Amino acid sequence: MSNDDADDLVFKALGHRVRRRILDFLKTESRTTGVLCDLFPDLDRCTVMQHLRVLEEAGLVVAERRGRERWNHLDALPVHAIQERWIGPYAAYAASMLSRLKHSVDA
């Protein structure tokens, strides 16, 4: 899979608020699928599982079977890669433009 394809999967995964909330919950600690389902009382288990599958395909969640439980762990490396490739350079560019604007206004 190319880097662009991997980035597309991460952006798709981050594009839905439920998936971002799942990642927020996993940021603090790994959780079972059952616990994640309980955190979304408005969604059925199948829907939560579909969101987890998208996150797994993007490499943002790693699932581990322990007996009957399925533990979900956050893998933040794809988000870090997006930050390095896209967010960091664009933020630096924006800061540079604002700095130049400030200097031209002050002059």
Q: Angle CA(58)–CA(79)–CA(91) in degrees, nearest 5?
A: 135
Across the range 58-71, mean pLDDT stands at 96
Q: From CA 90, how far away is CA 87, in angstroms rounded?
A: 5
Which domains does the chain possess? 3-75 (1.10.10.10)
pLDDT-based confidence at 18, cuts 50/70/90?
Answer: very high
Across the range 6-16, mean pLDDT stands at 93
Quote the distance between the C-alpha of residue 79 and its chain's center: 6
Over residues 25-47, the pLDDT tens digits come to 999 999 999 999 999 999 999 99
- For the whole model, what pTM was predicted? 0.80
**Closest by CA position to 33, among listed 12, 13, 47, 17:** 47
Q: Does the pLDDT of residue 4 top 90, yes or no?
A: no
Own/partner pairs, 39-48, CB within 8 angstroms, 24+ separation? 43/18, 47/18, 48/18, 48/22
Mean pLDDT of the chain: 91
The amino acid sitting at 14 is: L
Give residue 21's pLDDT.
Answer: 98
